[in-house]
Copies of this chain bind each other. A is one copy, B any other.
């Protein structure tokens, strides 16, 4: 029997989660919601998903010619689990509806930890989501940090981390946001990313600073890990290698910037040309005076998608073994080398 999943908000994240769920044998999409008759609403129908909307929006969507299968409330009531993919901070408002219908809910990283009370990363804390009703999958940047730091932390190598986040200013399809030609520091230190990592790796010491830059192509993290003992770059790389959601890349092969990384991702022929893996430059790994330096690039639109799939399995107890779920997700999504 397949778990009944609803997607609330068929946008950048929602359409990707819907696609990924469809690839799984143990879950299915029973419907997606959209409040406005944008091209994405038409796409949802074209992709075979049933469309739902809040009761008061039904006439708007129907007038635009869209086939509406019911209200948002009805969809959420019917679902075993709803993946909230509404715009950031909106999930906190939706939580009331999910709770009133008794439907389990996953929130995205734009929401605060407190909205769900439990945060999720498949590598670091799958177990804490098992059977839970409300869980937040941490943001793209936090997911990136959790994935690359976890293997080092597990090995007892991490004394302290300073991660500098060089953040893309907007997604590729967004032409409204800036900066368009400037560098914008987050004057708050730590940026929210450091404390957010603690929701999925509680016992790590980390600080983060962030700047926003005028690109739409990936986030980059320039990481400095203060080590508990000396290691070689080769040892560090060998600690990362078993983790499929990390991809080791080589700058010397012409992969000099995020532009080439995403061009390589297009060659992988995945839906939306996504790159679910965190890309780490092998030739950018250095150890100097007890500090490990490395650069990683994060595809902001997609690294959390496999995490959402695993989170569904944990919450609905379809699968209580993390590695079994990760393997299923990775195999179906082509994260397999």
Whether A60 is near chain B, meaning CB under 8 Å from some CB there, is no
How far is the CB of A221 from the nearest CB of chain B, in Å?
10
Whether A236 is near chain B, meaning CB under 8 Å from some CB there, is no
Copies, count: 2
- On whether A217 and B183 interact (CB within 8 A), knowing A162-B162, A224-B209, A293-B189, the answer reads yes
Whether A325 is near chain B, meaning CB under 8 Å from some CB there, is no
Nearest chain B residue, comparing its CB with the CB of A218: B183
Of the candidates A207, A215, A222, the one having the most CB atoms from chain B within 10 angstroms of its own CB is A222
Query: What bracket does the count of chain A residues touching chain B fall in?
Result: 35 or more
The residue from B168, B207, B284 contacting A291, defined by CB atoms under 8 A apart: B207
Whether A107 is near chain B, meaning CB under 8 Å from some CB there, is no
Nearest chain B residue, comparing its CB with the CB of A185: B295
Instruction: Please measure, in the bound complex, the distance between the C-alpha atom of A288 and the C-alpha atom of B289, giving whole angstroms.
Output: 22
Contact with B along A252-279 (1 / 0, CB 8 A): 0000111110000000000000000000
Instruction: Please measure, in the bound complex, the distance between the C-alpha atom of A251 and the C-alpha atom of B185, giving whole angstroms.
Output: 9
Of the candidates A189, A209, A291, A295, the one having the most CB atoms from chain B within 10 angstroms of its own CB is A189
Instruction: Please determine whether A181 and B215 come into contact, CB atoms closer than 8 angstroms.
Output: yes
Whether A70 is near chain B, meaning CB under 8 Å from some CB there, is no
Instruction: Please measure, in the bound complex, the distance between the C-alpha atom of A220 and the C-alpha atom of B210, giving whole angstroms.
Output: 11
Contact with B along A161-189 (1 / 0, CB 8 A): 01010101000000000010111110101
Instruction: Please measure, in the bound complex, the distance between the C-alpha atom of A256 and the C-alpha atom of B303, giving whole angstroms.
Output: 29
How far is the CB of A179 from the nearest CB of chain B, in Å?
5
The residue from B214, B256, B288 contacting A189, defined by CB atoms under 8 A apart: B288
- On whether A257 and B288 interact (CB within 8 A), knowing A166-B166, A213-B166, A295-B211, the answer reads no
- On whether A187 and B297 interact (CB within 8 A), knowing A213-B214, A217-B182, the answer reads no
Whether A327 is near chain B, meaning CB under 8 Å from some CB there, is no
Instruction: Please determine whether B181 and A211 come into contact, CB atoms closer than 8 angstroms.
Output: no
Instruction: Please determine whether A258 and B164 come into contact, CB atoms closer than 8 angstroms.
Output: no
Q: Which B residues lie within 8 Å of A182 (CB)?
A: 215, 217-218, 257-260
How far is the CB of A66 from the nearest CB of chain B, in Å?
33
7 more A-B contacts (CB under 8 A) besides A162-B224, A213-B215? A182-B217, A184-B256, A187-B281, A189-B284, A189-B293, A207-B291, A209-B293
Residue pairs across A and B with Cβ atoms less than 8 A apart, 9 shown, are A162-B162, A166-B166, A168-B183, A182-B257, A182-B258, A184-B258, A185-B222, A213-B214, A214-B215
